[in-house]
Amino acid sequence: MATSGAYKNSAYTFNFSFTKASDPTAFFTGTFLTSEVKVVTRDGGTTNAATNIASAPSHEGNGVYEINLTASEMNHDEIMIVLVPSSADVVPESISIVTEPTPSDILEVQQTAVSGVADFRATGFSTFDPAADTVANVTTVGSVSGSVGSVVASVTAGTVTDKTGYSISGTLTTLDALDTAQDSQHATTQSAISGLNNFDPASDQVIVATNNDKTGYALSSAANDAIGAAFLSYTLTKGTAGTIERAFWQALKTQALTDGEVSGTPGASAFDTNLTATTGAYDHLLLLFTSGALAGEARPIDTYVSTNGRITLQEDLTAAPSSSDEFIIVPDHTDPISEIQSGLATSAALAVVDANVDAILSDTGTDGVVLSSATLQSIATTLLDLSAGVESNRTLRQALRLILSASVGKLSGAATTTVTIRDSNDSVDRITATVDGDGNRTSVSLDAS
């Protein structure tokens, strides 16, 4: 960076903004270490060793830093500020400053006399060649007017000390010329500032520091429309877990597996599409039309074949779709009617069941239910041997045996204190009782086995 006003051997201050390394769209606003900013100087063809800057850049706000160079650091033909960040989050930079001679170094020529030059006239310089000619031992200069070729624009009054051995190898300028150059620089800067009136939001860019508060800023209606249009036309990807984009993507996948268009000459039950998935990819899923006369109508897909994206539906549509009608395929699985039917009773099986029901109704409604001998026997046995059927320790069968024995069985010992009653088959003593003189039973032993 070569700039007017950067004088050799004079302290110099300027402002600069640095870009963050982690975010190239933002300015760095942190703190520099002195060791992170080096100063490399050059004098003629000699480049000096790098040294740490005397004063680290200071943050003035909004990403703008003030850089101060001392007179000693500026006492060179070129000063390069080299940014070597070790901890700062900043992009390395190299800033070059080419110094100008100070106004005191520009010779003031006194309009009095030129030693060793007689009858000096300005026209005498008309053939002066700054690349080859030399001016030496100049002490004073008298009144000079007119043009000195294209080399000297004007010479102001003043005294020049002895410059024996000095040579002029380049273009000479005066203070007036320096002032003109500075004025030109200022005019350029002012022009750049006034150029903001021509700011084009479609092509120009304004980068705002990240630490600036934008509370209260409002976008124009056109900007809002542009943001909305960009959002609506955004191509949705899987995104990162926990983001809104991932949530939208997951919702999309649960709502519609894919979308397509009808092609060729479609029919109400089958048609070609622009789908290219492998055969069987959409079998038994639900197809829903989203445009055309059939918009909102849905049918289960029976089969899908990759050739021409052919889809055959399980049920006919109310009408054939038109070519270019759009549809989506929803991941909602439906079994084919034929498979559902195979899991249900057939007409023949239902006829058999119906006949059996009619027979049962006939039995219960007229003659009653006819039971087999074995079933009757099982019922009777169950009743007779039901536990605690008569008493807590007596089945119905046991109770009947004892009753029958007491009623018709042989009796012995009637005149004694022990009375015995046999079973009806006279094979076992069913009842054995101890009685007193009046015939009262004091104890009874029973055998119902």
**Structural domain ending residue among the three candidates 102, 134, 159:** 102
pTM, two decimal places: 0.30
Regarding whether 410 and 328 lie in a shared domain, the answer is no
CATH code of 306's domain: 2.40.30
Taking the CA atoms of residue 335, residue 339, residue 343 and residue 346 in that order, the dihedral angle to the nearest 10 degrees is 130
Q: Give the lowest-confidence range in 56-70, 92-106, 275-289, 386-400.
A: 92-106
Mean pLDDT of 395-404: 92
Taking the CA atoms of residue 339, residue 342, residue 343 and residue 349 in that order, the dihedral angle to the nearest 10 degrees is 160
Would the pLDDT of 135 be above 60?
no
Q: Give the lowest-confidence range in 266-270, 337-341, 407-411, 434-438.
A: 337-341
Task: Give the residues across from 273 on adjacent strands.
Answer: 262
**Structural domain ending residue among the three candidates 42, 76, 102:** 102
Rg (CA), the chain: 59
Q: Is residue 219 part of a domain?
A: no
Q: Is residue 67 part of a domain?
A: yes
Q: Is residue 41 part of a domain?
A: yes
Mean pLDDT of 259-285: 95
The three-class DSSP label of residue 59 is: strand
Q: Is residue 408 part of a domain?
A: yes
Q: How many domains does the chain have?
A: 3
Confidence of residue 393 (pLDDT cuts 50, 70, 90): confident
Confidence of residue 168 (pLDDT cuts 50, 70, 90): very low
Q: Are strands 286-289 and 326-330 parallel, antiparallel or unpaired?
A: antiparallel
Q: Is residue 214 part of a domain?
A: no
The two three-digit tokens of residue 21, written as one number: 């390394």
**Structural domain ending residue among the three candidates 44, 71, 102:** 102
The count of other CB atoms within 10 Å of the CB of residue 229 is 10
The two three-digit tokens of residue 265, written as one number: 């000459």
Q: Are strands 310-313 and 94-98 parallel, antiparallel or unpaired?
A: unpaired
Q: Is residue 6 part of a domain?
A: no
Q: Is residue 17 part of a domain?
A: yes
- The Cα 125–Cα 148 span in angstroms is 5
Confidence of residue 149 (pLDDT cuts 50, 70, 90): very low
Does residue 397 contact residue 384 with C-beta atoms inside 8 Å? yes
Range of the domain at 430: 374-446
Does residue 312 contact residue 267 with C-beta atoms inside 8 Å? no
